[in-house]
Amino acid sequence: MEVRSHLSEGTRTIIELWQQMAAKVEEGDRFIITAGCDKQFSTCRKKFSNALNFRGFPHMPGNDFVLSYATHD
């Protein structure tokens, strides 16, 4: 399941999922949460210290650049 949001309150952590679990979650159930990737260069660099292995194009100009035109001052 993908985690929609999480909030830590002292020793408690509240986790909200995108979809409902297939089976009811009971007290004492165990699970593993793995940090995912939102495919942004800044997350790769700051959170995972892995900018060197980023497989995207972080410095490509955006759509606004593509749609602009040259001007002469």
Q: How confident is the model at residue 34 (pLDDT cuts 50, 70, 90)?
A: confident
Q: How confident is the model at residue 19 (pLDDT cuts 50, 70, 90)?
A: very high
Q: How confident is the model at residue 50 (pLDDT cuts 50, 70, 90)?
A: confident
Q: What is the pTM of this model?
A: 0.47
Q: How far apart are CA 28 and CA 49, in angstroms?
A: 34
Residue 44 has φ and ψ, to the nearest 5°, of: -60, -40
User: Looking at residues 8-35, what average pLDDT do you find?
Assistant: 89
- DSSP H helices, 8-59, are 41-46
Residue 3 has φ and ψ, to the nearest 5°, of: -85, 130
Q: How far apart are CA 18 and CA 71, in angstroms?
A: 46
Q: How far apart are CA 1 and CA 33, in angstroms?
A: 9
